[in-house]
């Protein structure tokens, strides 16, 4: 972690490493929800940030990869080759459209009927099989992937962790998670990073973060050659699914307001949209 001026973070980080192992999982979860609330309440303005820089991008990436590896070990990948191939194709198109190398990203469809998707730092994207019941074609899948890539581009996980690190308890939690060889809290920290629903930890992004990811994602899919209007269709499908999609709706609230924001952004997205050939 980055060092704060004065007596703060560096000194506390050194002392709490010795106490990290004694922090109970229940205590970790209670505190995690608390620091997440701090992060979400603190997200203001057109973006989300508080201007904090207590946790480096490298440290956030380490936590993301740690959570991803544990999730991969505990959650089987889907055996549906059609789903996996579609995610690889759509994901590669979107990543290339933002000027990045698809080989540096890892995108996996997981064998779960949950209607959800998530992004983790370290360029990791997960989509659950249940999402394909709502995302009916590659254009709608591109809306999902573009949105999750948008979370990564905007470093929303880092913003949440920086807000958490502004509290003494948050520093203790992050030190425990970052401690070399300490993976005991990987599933819990995944909640703060954005992938906790697999473990029953529903810590949604803030409204501003979601709207920002929607906006970025809409432009991502349009530049990749996917019809941005499909993003609105996807949300209409979500509304129609109702109780069949509780997981995604619990972490992506207020479909009506988000559809309105997408409609406002649509002219800009359509101006860069050129349909894919082939």
Structural domain that includes position 17:
9-70+155-204
Q: Looking at the structure, tell me whether residues 53 and 88 fall in a common domain.
A: no
Q: What share of the chain has pLDDT > 70, as a percent?
A: 60
Which of 244, 230, 238, 229 lies closest to 256, judged by CA?
A: 238
- Give the chain's mean pLDDT: 75
In this structure, the answer to whether residues 35 and 146 fall within a common structural domain is no
**Number of H helices and number of E strands within the chain?**
12, 3
The answer to whether residue 188 is catalytic is no
pLDDT of 265 higher than 50: yes
pLDDT digits (tens, 9 = 90+) for 192-231: 666 654 444 445 667 788 889 999 999 999 999 999 999 9
My answer on whether 30 and 54 are in the same domain is yes
Return the pLDDT at 177.
Answer: 63
d(CA 65, CA 199): 16
Q: Return d(Cα 154, Cα 71) in angstroms, integer.
A: 23
Look at 84 and 253; give whichever has higher pLDDT. Answer: 84
Write down the catalytic residue from 59, 129, 148, 198. 148
Distance CA 204, CA 215 (A): 17
Let me know whether 215 and 145 are in one domain.
yes
Residues 137 and 215 in one domain: yes
pLDDT tens digits along 16-36: 333 344 444 444 444 444 444
Say if residue 21 is in the same domain as residue 140: no
Structural domains of the chain, count: 2
How far apart (Å, rounded) are the C-alpha atoms in residues 82 and 111? 13
Q: Are residues 142 and 230 in the same domain?
A: yes
Same domain assignment for residues 65 and 82: no
């Amino acid at each position: 972690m980055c060092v704060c001026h004065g007596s703060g973070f560096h000194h506390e980080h050194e002392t709490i490493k010795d106490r990290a192992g004694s922090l109970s999982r229940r205590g970790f979860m209670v505190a995690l929800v608390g620091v997440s609330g701090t992060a979400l309440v603190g997200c203001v303005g057109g973006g989300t940030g508080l201007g904090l820089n207590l946790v480096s991008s490298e440290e956030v990436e380490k936590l993301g990869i740690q959570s991803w590896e544990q999730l991969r070990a505990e959650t089987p990948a889907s055996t549906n080759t059609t789903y996996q191939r579609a995610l690889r194709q759509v994901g590669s198109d979107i990543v290339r459209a933002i000027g990045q190398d698809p080989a540096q990203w890892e995108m996996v469809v997981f064998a779960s009927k949950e209607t959800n998707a998530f992004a983790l730092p370290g360029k990791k994207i997960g989509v659950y099989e249940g999402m394909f019941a709502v995302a009916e074609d590659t254009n709608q899948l591109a809306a999902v992937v573009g949105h999750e890539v948008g979370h990564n581009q905007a470093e929303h996980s880092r913003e949440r962790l920086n807000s958490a690190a502004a509290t003494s308890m948050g520093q203790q939690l992050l030190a425990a998670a970052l401690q070399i060889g300490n993976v005991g809290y990987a599933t819990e920290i995944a909640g703060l990073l954005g992938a906790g629903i697999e473990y029953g930890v529903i810590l949604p992004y803030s409204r501003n973060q979601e709207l920002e990811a929607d906006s970025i994602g809409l432009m991502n899919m349009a530049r990749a050659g996917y019809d941005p209007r499909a993003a609105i269709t996807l949300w209409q499908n979500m509304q129609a699914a109702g109780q069949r999609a509780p997981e995604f709706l619990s972490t992506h609230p207020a479909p009506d307001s988000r559809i309105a924001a997408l409609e406002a952004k649509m002219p800009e997205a359509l101006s860069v949209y050129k349909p894919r050939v082939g």
